[in-house]
Amino acid sequence: MKTHTRENTHLFLGALVALVISAFIGPSSYAANKPINCKTNFGEKSFTIDQYEVAFHAQDQGRSISSVLGSVTKKTHKGFNKTVYQNGYRHLIHIENEKEFSSDNDFMAVISPKGHKMTYPLICSRVQ
């Protein structure tokens, strides 16, 4: 009987420790994921990357219009790749390092339905 009590106590304490750790780590890791603003070198395309979506921005007769699209994300060692489909075109957004953005390493490749590919270097920064 004492063995079961001891095992239950250890199980309870382990669950309690896991709960406390997740309570402190969870909110801090979420707060670190602020959206990222990116644009191409000459401003042809501009967009905001969020955790689950990408919002493309456009100017139309003085108005600012955004198209918010769902995305598929693949984490890499220090960064990520996001894939978004818009009007039959596939947009692959590659961020090499989330902590240090670089127009040499960060890019967006737009692939047409016929397979033609245009690659744009990106200038990115975190939203403050």
Asked whether 36 and 100 are in contact (CB, 8 A), the reply is no
d(CA 3, CA 9): 10
Asked whether 55 and 62 are in contact (CB, 8 A), the reply is no
pLDDT digits (tens, 9 = 90+) for 64-87: 777 888 888 999 999 999 999 988
Query: What are the structure tokens assigned to 103, written together?
Result: 């127009």
pLDDT digits (tens, 9 = 90+) for 39-67: 998 888 899 998 888 988 887 767 777 78
Per-domain residue ranges for the chain? 1-32, 35-126
pTM of the predicted structure, to 2 decimals: 0.69
- Give the whole-number percent of the chain exceeding pLDDT 70: 77
pLDDT at 92 over 80: yes
The beta strand positions in 23-62, using DSSP E, are 36-40, 46-49, 53-60
Query: What are the structure tokens assigned to 53, written together?
Result: 């979506």
d(CA 22, CA 48): 29
